[in-house]
Structure 1
Amino acid sequence: MKEKMARKIWIAIFFLVLQCVNLSAEELPELDEAYVEIKSKQLKDDFFMVKYNFENDEVFIGLKALYYFLEIYSLEFDLKNRKIYGEINGKKIEVTLDKNESIVLDDDIYVRLETFKKKLNFTDGEWSSQDLKLILTPNFILPYEEREKSKVERLRLNSDREHKKNKIIEAPQKLISPGLLKANVSFDDLEKADKKINLEYGTQFLYGDFYINQEIEPEVEAKNYSLTYNNVYKENDLIFGDYYMKIPDFLRINSSVQGISFGEKNTYSRTLENVTIIKGDAQGADIVELYQSGILLDYIQPKSRTFEFKVRDRNYGGEYTLKIYYKNGQIEERDVYTVNDSKLLDKNEWSYNVQAGRDKIDHYEQKVAEVRYGLTKDLSLGLGSLELQTENGKELNILKNDLLYRVGFNSYPTLINFQNFYETKKQESSYELKIEQKIKSYDLTIKNNKYSKYLGEDNGFEEENSIGITKNFINNRVALGYQEEVDIETKEKVEGYFFSIENRSLRNWSFVLDSEISWDRYREKTMQINPAISYTGINGLTAILQADIEKNNEKTSAGYSFKVLGRRNKIESTSLEYTFSVETRYNEEDKGKVSLDFTVYLDDYLYLELPVSRDEENRVQVGLIAEKTIDLSDLKRNVKDRQVDNSWIYGKVFIDSNNNGKYDVEEKVLPNVEVVTDGQKGTSDENGNYIISELLPLNKYKVEINRKTIDPMLLQVKNNELVNTKSSIGTEYDIPVQAVSMVTGNILFGEDITSNEMVRILSMITVRLEKDGDTYKEVDPEFDGMFFFEDVIPGDYKIKFVYLGNDSLEFSKEELDAKVKLEVEDEGEYFEGFDVVVNKVIEDEKESLETTENEQFDIDDILNNF
């Protein structure tokens, strides 16, 4: 009986033990293997094994596999006690998992998804059974992030050093150079044969940029000229000759002046009698488009480097901007500054404007001297003196001071612009005040201008006040406001309201509707309505349709215009290019007028324009414009540029066999190589000579070879040089190339490093190839420790090994010397054998050995005692 009882007890104990051993498996018996896509930050694996319960749609993730995927090898796993301990990011961790949240299977601990956020320091976990996609976001830095952060920082430092080291190649300063000469022959009407001949000349003269536009026929006359010294002090230019003077809007003075000017180079606008005038320079411009708050208002095709817009004033329409299409393919977007509005300066920044000369119409003496200073980044102050003479000969001596102050900052930013004008002879003061306030999504603008009788009589107003509010929402902009003007003589007040709506909901299309209504003290009402539609987009096509409708008492007048412009296109099956423009205007006085301009670019050799127009008498008028530019330093060169103040880069492409960076007579030249810079390109001839024309002056260009046009084993040597162009002359820049080789080696491991440790250590090693103390290339080793550098040009290098982990390791050599020298100048080679051995630091080995011995002694002692 006792034996039966004992047998039953032993059987019960056996099944109890068996149940404990298999408890985990019995808790979740329906787990199957599933291979899913896993993603953690930038790490991704499309074939990651998990355990999946199909019945409950629940996924279990193996911790060993997961941390291996995350490249974290510093953790230990106690399967029996379901413990994880070790270090992550230098912090010790120890986590014990409960049986209801984990299961031990296949030599790993599988954990429920919600446990990662609860215990394992993960911020998020997402599982999609439909896409079989698992996303885990750890709340700690992963090893690959450490590597990338370190790499990015090194690249940034190298980039900063490279930028500082960028060598600027400049054309030598010259007292005088041959320059570019352009001849222009034109006929307004071929039938009348009224020929005009015009010459433009640009060159380097007295170490500056000289330009002259000279009419030869029908009269000999210099239209304009200038000698410009660019950036003589910071970004301020010194100009002798023609320029635009910066004069307040309320003064009636011709701003085209001949004299001397010192200040910043900007494009400015003035508003005279409800017309905004914008003048500027754009060297090499093909088309200039004028925008206001993204709405296309007008466009022109400049005939010279200067341009001018005259558009109806829309002071509530926002800031003006220009979009300039250059003949060389470049596109520039430029802000337009208002003369009356000052620019907020940075702290301790100075701004200067000194101008003196005679206006080109009345030849009156005009002088302006202004200086402004940024007291803080939100407060700028200015002082100035203006000695001017108006169009009717009235002399003015004005002291000017201005203040620009920004308050409110992020919440409700406010910009206050105040300018005071004191006329010293009459001892009268005038001022202009403009306040711009942003209230959430609304923009509020308040203006208050008061003029003395002496200063305001040309303008005709004693006082101008306005308040307007605008709002942008989705693709619309709405403006609403009130304005009043007080006549300086009669004191009569003219009041008015304005309303504007803009819409840009259709791609490439914009719609504008402006309306104004005003009345004087006799309640005589004037109403203006100005709708416009503009389009810009497909195949470089631009179109503007607009109307000007005005009703004064019972009289209504209207004018309409329609403009279409097609930017440069190629005629099929030819090398010819063309542009065209059509303009139709109609008003009650001039009736209808249609003009057509058609321009043909004749094989890049001769510029030919055929303007065709029809006048109010329906008479067709055909004109002709022919232009050719000549390089006086090389008469055989075919100059494609129409602007005599543009520049070009030229030089030779060759194999630098002696590695000195300069072309030597015995070195091999490379024909048919394409050289590019900023959208422009040229091809080397049989002597290796190339030329890239139609480049803007005062620009820094990075000149590069199109590698598709040379042997893949050849590489451009100079990569840290910029070519700075100058007006009317070319800059020589030779391009050396060399054959590229491959440099390879291996990272080997000592016997004291296990295979698991090897994988972890390799993931934290970066191999760097340095030349002259700078990083030339940087790579990560392969899984077996092999590394290789491609596209290495001849030279002396050092190979360095950077370990980003926390282990105490040492490399058999801290750096390796690598000399890349070729047997054949245009054939790369394979350089190998740059191996290094990684071992643990000896002190760590001793400590490890002592610990092991102590542990062995303790175990023996315990066994003996037992």
Structure 2
Amino acid sequence: MKKFVLIFLFLSLISNAYGDNSGFKYSGDVVYFEDEGEERERIYTLKVGGEVYSLSYPAVVENGKNYFSVFEFFKAIGFTNYEIKRGKLTFSLGQDGEKKVIDFGDLTEKEYIYENRDYYISEELFKEYFAQTIRIDENKYEVNINPSFLLPKVVNLLLNAKEKELDLEKGKPILYYKSERKLFDLGNLRVNLEKSIEDSKSEGKSHDWDGYLEYSGSLLYGTFNTDYDLKEHEFGDFTITYSDLLDGQYELELGAYGEHREKGLTFQKDRGYLNDGKEYIIEEKVPLGSRVELLYNNIPIEIQYEEGGKVVFVNNLIKENREFLMRIFTQDGKILERKIKINDDYNQQNKGEFGYDIYIRDEHDSNRVNSQMDIYYGYTDHLTFGFGYDQIPEEKDGKYLSVKTVNLQTIYGNSFYGNPYTLKYELKKGINSINGASENSERKYVDKKYNTQHNFMVDTTIKDFSINYEIYENGKYYDEKREQNLDLDYDVFDWLTLTYEYENTKYHDSRGSESDYKYGAEFGYSINSLLLSYEIDKNKAGDITHEVDLYYTGLKHVLVKVENSWDENEDYTGELRITNKTWSEFLDYSFGVKYTPKEDTRVVLDFTLKLDNWLELGAYWAKDDTKSAYIGIDRVFNLKKPTVNMNNLDSTNIKVMAFLDGNNNNKYDKGEEAVPNVDVKLGDKTIVTDENGIGYIYGVTSFIDYELETSCKRPTFKSDINLIKVRGTGSSEVVAYVPVKPMISFTGFVDFKNATEFDKENIISDLAINVTNKDNTFTQTIYPDSTGMFYIFDIIPDDYTFTFEYRGDDYVVDKYKENVKLLYTDKNRGENEHTFILNRGE
């Protein structure tokens, strides 16, 4: 105490000597200093939704404004779904993962403070992004935030609940039905007829027409396709396709092609996108009736509707090393998303996985076989080995040679400190027979030309740099001895990429070598519903090209696209395109204007209108006074029932057969009763089974898994015990059996071998009966009444186990277990009875 008095006197002396001591407060044995000025840095108790999340949440007060820490807020609530890059904070909040961005480079000094490697944003900005309300209690040093999004803890609870729901769904038996491959089955016929009128100054008025028939149906357990030109009276290719092979990843096609009916075979793996030179085409299978948006930089750049079970996107912005999001709106109200990374995977396979790409064609002109076969095997998840064999007809001195080569590939992909890379080496060598070879023989020619080719490639991304380098070493008979290609991309910002391409070719002859290069920039920026893309390139010769594209999607289901390109020679092309499709697909229109000042037809207008997915109208007008118009019919019929619309040629029918599954084996057994009035729903289509338990769903797109929703109108029947999935694999019909479970009741009786009525009644009062079925999907605990009788209602026929357990203390009763098969038969009509004999111990 004496020590404390000395300290107090010392502090009092200092305060009297150097100023007013009103800042000192004394309370009992505690002395503390109270600053009447404003504290700049403050520590609060953070409450979110009324719950304490942090006892030391930092804030800054500057010029009378509150600034709250962003990273400490994320840390307190357990939020990790964010990224900070070049002063731009990107995060996704809530259950729906809504993406938001705070670009600190665009904010003023009054809107944020950067201190201690943390961003403090103003109260107004914090509220805009994270809170409905913010309440500050200065007396308690508390900040109470009412969040504007679902907290991670709440999201996890919802996800856990969803997982439990999915687990229950997983517990249901899955019945999976696919198209029945048949030797022959009548399929679908597309009728396309078009009448056109054209009027121009030079040619005058003319009439023309086109028409063709297209057929798809089952043949030889595959899908047979062909077409017939009504105007030229000619058949097209004949093909038989075996799709959905090896877990749906592969497709085998046998055919007779062209006017000479060249026989051919292809067997390949579905990649999801095609590479046509430098142009990438995204082709994806989607559910029936889907509307699909392709998004780049979170802005839709194309809108397509499912046709033929797929969508195809061709767009200037689809380029290598870009990532796109495909958002699929299905007819049953679901929204599916797929990420599409446009990057050559170089045929890498997962461990133990095979990949095939086989092409064989019997060519008419050369009278030889053209075959190209590649097989890839994933030795590990990183290392893939490839083997290839090619036999390609090649003309030399007026005759054809069969050039035979083999190639070996090694592909290795991995990452180094988070930077992905792929290495590929390929060796290609000619293997034509050497026996009896002369100087001009195939062997000598091939030996010089193809002995030996080497190809080395490295593809990597190092932070913001993407590098692709490839080198080819060719044989003597090639003009090019060595080819080198280098592509560099540097992402300066998320919206700006610098590009550089370099090519160097060394020749076998006196030309020596030559090189070319091109460099430029790609700018892409999106705001709200507007996306702006600008690209500029300049090559070694000094030629400069520009391309500017604008996309606007602010109007529902409407895409407005403006594309412009020009070069230094003022060769300009501009196009405006407006497309729309209503959700009902009754009306589909497209309007376009194209302007090219250097051509005679400098301005071109075109307009198409499609009604109810079968009647199409169109018009075309060019500035040179060329005008045309057409009317056409495009309709797909099912030849077994021509009145139904099949949507596309590959559509199939689903034949639903509802039956009473009295023995609960999920299979239709001969003699089982048909169930009428069962509702079966697929997307927006609902059918009701007839008196024979049969119903049809027409026009279902193939190669997509669908789930049927079923419900029975009779309360004593239940049809949703199983998950029923269907998949069409061509125009063949899918037969889907819907097992309807009769709800039965059970009456049980408990009796004893050696117990008096008095003992029996006392034992039963403490007796518990646990009932489970064979799959443990049903469990229930029952207590009998005083007479030993108990009941179970609304259960399905199944094998049940009854376990009897005495829970009292006055008697010794052996635990007893018995299996009973409960049935639904014509005799019992769902009312089952059974007596259980228990043994009272001594």
Shared fold by TM > 0.5?
Answer: yes
User: Which residue number in structure 2 is paired with residue 757 of structure 1?
Assistant: none
* Partner Cα separation in structure 2 for residue 338 and residue 359 of structure 1: 33
User: Which residue number in structure 2 is paired with residue 468 of structure 1?
Assistant: 489
Residues 1:427 and 2:427 aligned together:
no
* Partner Cα separation in structure 1 for residue 822 and residue 505 of structure 2: 85
Q: Determine if contact 2:659/2:668 at 8 Å carries over to the other structure.
A: no
* Partner Cα separation in structure 2 for residue 174 and residue 598 of structure 1: 39
Q: Determine if contact 1:267/1:337 at 8 Å carries over to the other structure.
A: no
Pick from 519, 531, 535 the counterpart of residue 514 of structure 1. 535
- The alpha-carbon deviation at position 315 of structure 1 amounts to 4.9
Moved more, 539-548 or 356-365: 356-365
* Partner Cα separation in structure 2 for residue 155 and residue 812 of structure 1: 35
Cα offsets for 1:451-484 (capped at 9, x unmatched): 64878769x994322222337x7xx443223211
Pick from 194, 208, 212 the counterpart of residue 194 of structure 1. 208
User: Which residue number in structure 1 is paired with residue 717 of structure 2?
Assistant: 714
* Partner Cα separation in structure 1 for residue 412 and residue 516 of structure 2: 31
User: Which residue number in structure 2 is paired with residue 695 of structure 1?
Assistant: 700
Moved more, 197-206 or 790-799: 790-799
User: Which residue number in structure 2 is paired with residue 599 of structure 1?
Assistant: 610
Pick from 385, 390, 395 the counterpart of residue 386 of structure 1. 390
Amino acid corresponding to residue 797 of structure 1 in structure 2 = Y
Residues 1:269 and 2:274 aligned together:
yes
Pick from 218, 222, 225 the counterpart of residue 204 of structure 1. 218
User: Which residue number in structure 2 is paired with residue 617 of structure 1?
Assistant: 624
Residues 1:706 and 1:687: Cα distance change in structure 2 (over 3 Å): same
Pick from 427, 437, 440 the counterpart of residue 460 of structure 2. 437
Residues 1:290 and 1:488: Cα distance change in structure 2 (over 3 Å): farther
* Partner Cα separation in structure 2 for residue 704 and residue 332 of structure 1: 19
User: Which residue number in structure 2 is paired with residue 630 of structure 1?
Assistant: 637
User: Which residue number in structure 2 is paired with residue 51 of structure 1?
Assistant: none
Residues 1:545 and 1:330: Cα distance change in structure 2 (over 3 Å): farther
* Partner Cα separation in structure 2 for residue 446 and residue 682 of structure 1: 55
Amino acid corresponding to residue 550 of structure 1 in structure 2 = D
Residues 1:390 and 1:156: Cα distance change in structure 2 (over 3 Å): farther
- The alpha-carbon deviation at position 444 of structure 1 amounts to 2.2
Q: Determine if contact 1:715/1:791 at 8 Å carries over to the other structure.
A: no
Q: Determine if contact 1:341/1:417 at 8 Å carries over to the other structure.
A: no
Q: Determine if contact 1:214/1:220 at 8 Å carries over to the other structure.
A: yes
User: Which residue number in structure 1 is paired with residue 500 of structure 2?
Assistant: 482
User: Which residue number in structure 1 is paired with residue 710 of structure 2?
Assistant: 705
* Partner Cα separation in structure 2 for residue 363 and residue 643 of structure 1: 37
Residues 1:374 and 2:378 aligned together:
yes
- The alpha-carbon deviation at position 380 of structure 1 amounts to 0.7
* Partner Cα separation in structure 2 for residue 305 and residue 157 of structure 1: 31
* Partner Cα separation in structure 1 for residue 257 and residue 141 of structure 2: 68
Secondary structure, in 3 states, of the residue corresponding to 1:775? coil
Q: Determine if contact 1:281/1:307 at 8 Å carries over to the other structure.
A: yes
Q: Determine if contact 1:797/1:818 at 8 Å carries over to the other structure.
A: yes
Residues 1:404 and 1:776: Cα distance change in structure 2 (over 3 Å): same
Instruction: Please give the residue correspondences for 1:322-341 in structure 2 after superposition, counting only pairs within 5 Å.
Output: 341=345
Instruction: Please give the residue correspondences for 1:633-782 in structure 2 after superposition, counting only pairs within 5 Å.
Output: 634-635=640-641, 638-653=643-658, 662=668, 667=673, 669-671=675-677, 673-677=678-682, 680-685=685-690, 688-706=693-711, 710-716=713-719, 719=722, 721-740=724-743, 769-770=772-773, 773-778=774-779
Secondary structure, in 3 states, of the residue corresponding to 1:353? strand
Amino acid corresponding to residue 587 of structure 2 in structure 1 = Y
Residues 1:800 and 1:171: Cα distance change in structure 2 (over 3 Å): farther
Amino acid corresponding to residue 541 of structure 1 in structure 2 = V
Instruction: Please give the residue correspondences for 1:47-126 in structure 2 after superposition, counting only pairs within 5 Å.
Output: none
User: Which residue number in structure 2 is paired with residue 179 of structure 1?
Assistant: 187
TM-score normalised by L of structure 1:
0.60
Residues 1:816 and 1:599: Cα distance change in structure 2 (over 3 Å): same
Amino acid corresponding to residue 534 of structure 1 in structure 2 = Y
Q: Determine if contact 2:663/2:798 at 8 Å carries over to the other structure.
A: no
- The alpha-carbon deviation at position 375 of structure 1 amounts to 1.8
- The alpha-carbon deviation at position 450 of structure 1 amounts to 3.3
- The alpha-carbon deviation at position 601 of structure 1 amounts to 0.7
Cα offsets for 1:492-543 (capped at 9, x unmatched): 322221211323442x5433222212223xxxx1222222222457543233
- The alpha-carbon deviation at position 447 of structure 1 amounts to 2.1
Q: Determine if contact 2:676/2:688 at 8 Å carries over to the other structure.
A: no
Q: Determine if contact 1:210/1:225 at 8 Å carries over to the other structure.
A: yes
* Partner Cα separation in structure 2 for residue 679 and residue 410 of structure 1: 49
- The alpha-carbon deviation at position 437 of structure 1 amounts to 3.0
Residues 1:210 and 1:319: Cα distance change in structure 2 (over 3 Å): farther
Residues 1:529 and 2:546 aligned together:
yes
Cα offsets for 1:358-399 (capped at 9, x unmatched): 689999953211111212111112121333468999976544
CA-based RMSD of the aligned residues comes to 5.6
TM-score normalised by L of structure 2:
0.61
Pick from 392, 408, 415 the counterpart of residue 415 of structure 2. 408
Moved more, 194-203 or 303-312: 303-312
Cα offsets for 1:14-34 (capped at 9, x unmatched): xxxxxxxxxxxxxxxxxxxxx
User: Which residue number in structure 1 is paired with residue 26 of structure 2?
Assistant: none
What percent of counterpart residues are identical? Answer: 18
User: Which residue number in structure 1 is paired with residue 40 of structure 2?
Assistant: none
Pick from 541, 565, 578 the counterpart of residue 548 of structure 1. 565
Secondary structure, in 3 states, of the residue corresponding to 1:492? strand
User: Which residue number in structure 2 is paired with residue 450 of structure 1?
Assistant: 472
* Partner Cα separation in structure 1 for residue 235 and residue 309 of structure 2: 15
Uncovered stretches (5+) of structure 2, i.e. residues with no partner = 1-48, 54-139, 147-156, 199-204, 431-445, 751-765, 807-811
Secondary structure, in 3 states, of the residue corresponding to 2:644? coil
User: Which residue number in structure 1 is paired with residue 82 of structure 2?
Assistant: none
User: Which residue number in structure 2 is paired with residue 229 of structure 1?
Assistant: 242
Pick from 565, 577, 594 the counterpart of residue 563 of structure 1. 577
Cα offsets for 1:257-298 (capped at 9, x unmatched): 9611123233453353x5456778889788887666766565
Uncovered stretches (5+) of structure 1, i.e. residues with no partner = 1-36, 42-126, 134-144, 245-255, 571-575, 748-760, 804-808, 843-866
Secondary structure, in 3 states, of the residue corresponding to 2:740? strand
- The alpha-carbon deviation at position 224 of structure 1 amounts to 3.3
User: Which residue number in structure 1 is paired with residue 348 of structure 2?
Assistant: 344
Residues 1:287 and 1:153: Cα distance change in structure 2 (over 3 Å): closer
Residues 1:624 and 1:685: Cα distance change in structure 2 (over 3 Å): farther
Count of aligned residue pairs for this structure pair: 635
- The alpha-carbon deviation at position 349 of structure 1 amounts to 2.1
- The alpha-carbon deviation at position 422 of structure 1 amounts to 4.8
Cα offsets for 1:127-162 (capped at 9, x unmatched): 99999x9xxxxxxxxxxx9xx99x9999969948x6
* Partner Cα separation in structure 2 for residue 659 and residue 233 of structure 1: 31
Instruction: Please give the residue correspondences for 1:23-42 in structure 2 after superposition, counting only pairs within 5 Å.
Output: none
